[in-house]
Structure 1
Amino acid sequence: MVSEQTVIQIRNLTKKIGRKKLVDSLTFDIKRGEVFGFLGPNGAGKTTTIRMMVGLMSATKGEVIIEGKSIAHEFEQAIQHVGAIVENPEMYKFLTGYQNLVHFANMVPGGIKKERIKEVVELVGLESRIRHKVKTYSLGMRQRLGVAQALLHKPSVLILDEPTNGLDPSGIRELRDYLRNLAQNEGISIIVSSHLLSEMELMCDRIAIIQNGKLIDVKRITELVQNNEEEITAIFTVDQSQIAIELVKKHMVNAYISMTENGFQIMIERERIPDIITLLTDNCVRIYEVKHITKTLEDKFLEMTEGEKIV
């Protein structure tokens, strides 16, 4: 469950190289236990933002505050709350998954107990293969092992840049389910950058849309895809398509209407839909279905970025 507590604060974050601004004054908050997505066309500044969030790149201006600590001025205290996979997870393929985790655990200040290693292995569902060599793992399993590695030190924030790259549909769904489980049951805030709009729609609670380094908007997925417009598109399935279209054209002069295989599609004010139903039934046209076409996240994204595609 998403908490109202803020875990990450991004304030006027800017990255400038020469005269070019890669990231321009980004400001937003990320809550505890939410899956937060970064969406934007290729070159929009998503990866640059993530690199500044984890300290791999310095900001020209602004700051990133994680659990009350500044990445710029209190790096060690801030980064201890973060687990991240910025590129594809790199593992020693000749070692087993377990040996890789032990190797990484030994590099963490203070060490990691074996109980915690066992815990994260169960968390990502690798119990049956953790003693096998990584070279035998599928790409999806390697991604899950990477997530396990990132979770070893019990971070409150998990940052993933394009975590579904190279995964087949089954692997994508598998990873999505694990990430949703981590957010909901472990209270971990997960930040995901991806170009797969359909996956972001299924995975994220909120999404930040970035274009040309600037923040266009931050909205909940439900707010982005719900249709509250006064004018909607509806599909009517009827038994007498031609008669129905002629009736509607005659009585709904300003409506845009087109024939479909089993009826017609119409763009009209929502409040006039009941009038169309009454008109058709009064004229003995049988209505089998009225379906409201819901806009997808992709539709909304293309509207907000004026058609610029994600790559």
Structure 2
Amino acid sequence: MNEQAIVSLRNVTKRIGRSTIINDVSFDVHKGEVFGFLGPNGAGKTTTIRMMVGLMSISKGEIRIQGHSIATEFEQAIRHVGAIVENPEMYKYLTGYHNLVHYARMVPGVTKERIAEVIKLVKLEDRIHDKVRKYSLGMRQRLGVAQALLHRPSLLILDEPTNGLDPAGIRELRDYLQYLTREEGIAVIVSSHLLSEMELMCDRVAILQQGKLVDVKEIEEFMSSGGKEQTYKIEAVLEEEHIAVLSGLDVVRSVTIVSGGVEIVTERAHIPSVLNELMRRDVPIYGVQEVRQSLEDRFLEMTGGVQVG
């Protein structure tokens, strides 16, 4: 991953009256990554996004986009941003193409060639001349993304982009965002409550709870328990004596009988010696794999059971 920071938040705080909505939040989002923003309703996700695009003032701290302060250099900063906050708003009586043309007139330097390029990018070539009222929600989302990309932003922000999409639409959006970061090199921030989709879509995820940043990690690191010990499933035909052997090994912290074998908690480095003990007893072993927690498991573990909703 390119470590160039497209957007940086430093000690960002938002107060409304005596209430602190966002409390001292700091993180960077880099070029060429999909950054997931997770949290329960009321955690402050949308408030943070609104501050990032200048729709809400910052009480304390600083947000910089491509080095420009969103508070003091708004025009320089916001020209690098494309965003859909909540639902994309379109003129439903116009065609998709004329919606893009209308928006392009408000943005200097957007050519007909660029309009054609983003239409192809979001794969709407076959329907772009249909009226938007005939579009599915997924197609309107793609048209909204096309509109947000017209001026070649460095940062694309999507607040709950999968709301209302069917599974096919969610997968399409996921594949498209990964294509954008890979081929266009832009940074994408996605706010969502769909943990399973974030797990498949994102390079890194941030957890926000009650206005505070719990953690920011790469998705692979986030999925692990954070320690050296992991859970491994050994697919094998095991008798009670074999279970006793595993339970008696100093390097194995726990053994759980599951369908098709056992799950053990140990360090990766100890797997060969564990298998060797079983093979010495002529146990047929069919496979070994790490048992990963889901993103939902990790979220609930880190937030003390607070659901995303």
What interval of TM-score do these two structures reach, taking the shorter chain for normalisation?
A: over 0.9
- Per the TM alignment, residue 94 of structure 1 is displaced from its structure 2 partner at its CA by 1.7
Q: 2-side partners of 1:21 and 1:125: how far apart?
A: 42
Shift of 1:83: 0.9
Indicate the residue corresponding to 2:51 in structure 1: 52
When normalised by structure 1's length, the TM-score is 0.92
| Post-superposition CA distance 1:144-203 (Å, at most 9, x none) | 000001111221111110111111111111111111111111121111111122222222
- Map residues 127-276 of structure 1 onto 2, 5 A cutoff: 127-226=125-224, 229-251=227-249, 255-276=253-274
C-alpha separation in 1, matches of 2:178 and 2:103: 25
Q: Which residue of structure 2 aligns with residue 287 of structure 1?
A: 285
CA 1:255/1:9 → structure 2, altered by over 3 Å: closer, same or farther?
Answer: closer
Is 1:96 aligned to residue 95 of structure 2? yes
Aligned residues: 309
Structure 2 partner of 1:117: 115
Gap runs ≥5 in structure 1: none
Cα distance between partner residues in 2 of 1:21 and 1:9: 21
The aligned residue for residue 17 of structure 1 is 16
Report if the CA contact (8 A) 2:224-2:230 is conserved. no
Letter in 2 for 1:245: I
Structure 2: give runs of 5+ residues left out of the alignment. none
1:6 corresponds to which residue? 5
For 2:32, the equivalent position in structure 1 comes to 33
Q: 1:261–1:37: structure 2 CA closer, same or farther, 3 Å change rule?
A: closer
> Post-superposition, which runs of at least 4 consecutive aligned residues in structure 1 deviate over 6 A?
none
Structure 2: distance between partners of 1:155 and 1:282:
61
Q: Partners of 1:275 and 1:30 in 2: how far apart?
A: 41
2:247 alignment partner AA: K
Change (3 A) 1:84 1:228: closer
AA at the equivalent of 2:153:
P
In 2: Cα distance, 1:35 partner to 1:169 partner: 19
Cα distance 1:114–1:269, how it changes in 2: closer, same or farther (>3 A)?
A: closer
Do the aligned residues in 1 keep the contact of 2:252 with 2:265 (CA within 8 Å)? no
Q: CA, structure 1 residues 141+243, in 2 after alignment: closer, same or farther (shift >3 Å)?
A: same
Inter-partner Cα distance in structure 1 for 2:10 and 2:103: 32
In the superposition, relative to structure 1, how do residues 203 and 240 fare at CA in structure 2: closer, same or farther (>3 Å)? closer
What letter is aligned with 1:296? S
Which 10-residue stretch deviates more, 148-157 or 250-259? 250-259
User: CA separation in 1, counterparts of 2:126 and 2:196?
Assistant: 30
Q: Kindly indicate whether the alpha-carbon contact (under 8 Å) linking 1:241 and 1:262 is maintained by their aligned counterparts in 2.
A: no
CA distance change for structure 1 residues 261 and 23 in 2, over 3 Å: closer, same or farther?
same
Classify the secondary structure of the residue corresponding to 1:9: strand
- Taking the aligned partners of 1:87 and 1:273, their CA distance within structure 2 comes to 47
Distance in 1 (alpha carbons) for counterparts of 2:56 and 2:6:
20
One-letter amino acid matched to 1:203: M
Residue 63 of structure 2 corresponds to which residue in structure 1?
A: 64
In structure 2, give the amino acid aligned to 1:74.
E
Alpha-carbon distance in structure 2 between the residues aligned to 1:282 and 1:55: 66
Report if the CA contact (8 A) 2:206-2:216 is conserved.
Answer: yes
> SS at 1:107's partner residue?
coil
Task: Look up the SS of the partner of 1:42 in the other structure.
Answer: coil
Aligned to 2:2, what secondary structure does the other structure show?
coil
Q: Is the 8 A contact 2:34 2:203 kept in 1?
A: yes
Letter matched to residue 60 of structure 2: K
1:88-111 Cα offsets, whole Å, 9 max, x none, are 101111211001111112223x36
CA change 1:280–1:144 in 2 (3 A) is: same
Counterpart-to-counterpart distance in 2, 1:147 and 1:305:
32
Q: What's the CA shift for 1:33?
A: 2.3
In the alignment, the residues of structure 1 paired with residue 189 and residue 252 of structure 2 have an alpha-carbon distance, to the nearest angstrom, of 45
Q: Which residue of 1 aligns with 2:78?
A: 79
Q: Distance in 1 between matches of 2:274 and 2:68?
A: 59
Percentage of identical aligned residues: 60
Kept in 1: contact 2:50–2:56 (CA 8 A): yes
- Distance apart, 1:269 and its partner CA: 4.4
